[in-house]
């Protein structure tokens, strides 16, 4: 069984905003998400993050600010008894035609290289259609959470999501993953 779990960030781990998350102060975990990551780790899962961060390309924040947000996140996960194997991020905008922006799988390939694990057969948890597509494109088992943009994704892509696991939030998704052990 594949023990790799890849998570989207905004809307899955932390609260999302249509105005972007632009500072560590605005980076607020969704209740239960940090503990869910620690629980997955304690069950032997390797957890990584793949996140589109076009706010960098748009000039809303810089890489140093993104790293400060991620340090806050990593500290919270560590305090809960967990760890994140790698955070892959795409700093490009939607029109940059890069290989890393979801639904393309460049970030998944980066995670595979860093962790030495194949994503094929692993889990990919997201709240946006691009997350689900990325997971499918990489051969993962996608889970759509209803937090963040999840409800809107479900409404707009219901017919495309027939074979995708749905979860209330990351805590619920982690419980679903643990049932598969």
Known catalytic residues are: 8, 10
Find out whether 69 and 98 touch, Cβ atoms under 8 Å. no
Three-state DSSP state, 27: coil
Written as one string, the DSSP assignment of 1-19 is ---EEEE-SBTTTB---TT
- 125 pairs with which residues across the strands? 7, 143
Find out whether 107 and 98 touch, Cβ atoms under 8 Å. no
Find out whether 133 and 111 touch, Cβ atoms under 8 Å. no
């Amino acid at each position: 069984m594949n023990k790799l779990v890849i998570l989207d960030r905004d809307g899955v781990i932390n609260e999302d905003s249509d105005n972007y998350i632009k500072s560590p102060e605005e980076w607020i975990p969704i209740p239960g998400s940090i503990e869910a990551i620690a629980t997955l780790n304690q069950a032997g899962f390797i957890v990584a993050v793949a996140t589109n961060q076009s706010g960098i390309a748009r000039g809303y924040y810089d890489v140093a600010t993104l790293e400060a947000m991620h340090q806050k996140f990593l500290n919270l996960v560590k305090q809960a008894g967990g760890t994140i194997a790698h955070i892959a991020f795409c700093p490009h905008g939607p029109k940059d035609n890069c290989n890393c922006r979801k639904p393309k799988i460049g970030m998944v390939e980066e995670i595979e290289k860093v962790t030495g694990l194949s994503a094929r057969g692993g889990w990919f948890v997201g709240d946006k259609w691009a997350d689900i597509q990325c997971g499918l494109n990489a051969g993962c088992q996608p889970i759509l959470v209803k937090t963040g943009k999840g409800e809107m994704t479900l409404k707009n892509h219901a017919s495309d999501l027939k074979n995708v696991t749905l979860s209330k939030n990351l805590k619920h998704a982690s419980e679903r993953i643990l049932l598969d052990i």
